[in-house]
Structure 1
């Protein structure tokens, strides 16, 4: 009887231990599963950040009136903007130019067509609204040549537009503007800025960089958000230097702004950089990506994990980023005290893609060096389209004040 009494507690303890072990295993399995799920979700978010983005339709062509040469689109914050724009299409036309808004009623907006559309043309309904306006260098009707810029990855093609002579002075042949496009676009995005610099007597080089459609592919083919792309653009500065440039103006659009600021700090030719002009620039990627994550309804903890994963080499299989991305190095606000180059920023309070707050913060940190021209109502990289006269005159005044244009050089 005594033995049986001792056995009962032993059996009970064994059952308890087994149950506890089962609970621990279940909890551990659940933890691993949850952690794995979190990692997969974070990896998916991170992969979207570094994967080169493709243009996706964001408006619908509802009607084309070939007699009146008008086009009716679905209404959005972009398609209702005043000014001149472009539209990526498919069918017999791949890109068409749009003029002024003629009417905006309900869910539609009708604009003037600036590209001739005939009855024989056929356009798909899905289209992409664009601020490019110009899609080919020949459309500027300015002399230009094609150039090959050698980089560590191979040849990056570029366009070079010589500056114009004025009545009073020859072109400032020693001043070149290096135009840098944004993420998911091509150097055609920066064609809008060329006439201004041409008229100022400044030679322009429109650079391409790794993973552009006509440029070399990086290892893995992913974007580093400017952390490596700047090295290719630095070679374009070297090309300009060998061609006679003695002063450089960097002109960056969106992510091109992030690249320009990397160049201002790290370029082997930074002694030549006399000014930086930024249109809708990315000043701090963490702010931009957190903003987009919030708009997409991604929880903040997941966003933090995704951003952290992009800094870890071991997470590369999940994130797709071959090399870790240092957010601190891409944070211009954190490096504000190290900046030495006069900079003009043009940004809009209506930019919901790269919010203007970081540009304001940078101006406030370095008011001695940074000027901010803030537009109202324009949207991301559409300031030229929205108010070309203001965009052009503000940059020209800034160039003149620094002796970087024909007029400024003549007066200095």
Structure 2
């Protein structure tokens, strides 16, 4: 009589003591197969194997759970498999938070008549395609623009009859209603591709859009930047000092407030901003500078969020700190501008600054570099740190060659800037 084949079951993946990277991860094995080594850590199977990831998140005030199974090829160590699964786990959590389920939704796309050239019909055809590969938030922006601006004006028109004058009138009406320039700009974002894919070419240079005037650029001197930085780094509240330290290396406030101890890699001396917490929904890794290491070690937390502070309280303390140095027209996000401007002034190149600030701009240029980007960010991070930190930043072994050593690190810096930097460094 044939024996029943053993079913695979999930067994918790265990790494070395204190290593929590495998949280929510299980290896699928038969009960008779080896699970753990003598040290109590999960053994690497000598075959292809599977890892199950179980996650949970809050969606509309309800706790939601989900699981997914991933295939791992033979020869991949448990450590390497876990490291590759971390980003998958983060993606799963982000999807749960956004949709409440990991199940793939059946996309219902209304059928359209290919011969119907009415704007309503061609818009539906265009949005159907966009729903296939665009994020839900992007689709929402398109649909709001259509509902609020386009449908009332164009639905009953043939697309071939739409002219530059129609678009300009629509823009003028939005301006009269005091709509923001960025909101009005979505009219072009939606209309231009719809028209062009249907072979209707307008001269967009004839159409005038309101200029975006909300851009804030730091116009202060380096001395003023140092004054601001010193005030933030010596602020009385220890949690806020830590938050300010990260903000002064170009991080966004939400990125800092969501940073957890598990996102810090002390072995590689890096920290990671998860995709779910970054503005462009991409994961970013940065070097853990001495000033940031110190900021973390000053905190009382050892697990979970490093800086247990709410956004409103963070804003309150920032304004309080700025008032103490008689600055009343600066918001917290202006620190990113200050960091970028000061870094560029003092020798960091535009690519390094772009990477430090995790901008999507210059992405084509960034891909031409051989590094993963963290080295680029480090150049800009180190430049701003050199200006604001009183501690030993650069250790030059031979004092006579310190100028050349710093010049090698910061090739874009002028001789005057290097000499100024040397004057504030402590050389052993």
TM above 0.5, yes or no, is no
Instruction: Judging by fraction of residues, say which structure has more helix.
Output: 2
Q: Which bin holds the TM-score, normalised by the shorter protein?
A: under 0.3
TM-score when scaled to structure 2? 0.22
TM-score w.r.t. the length of structure 1 is 0.22
Higher share of residues assigned strand: 1
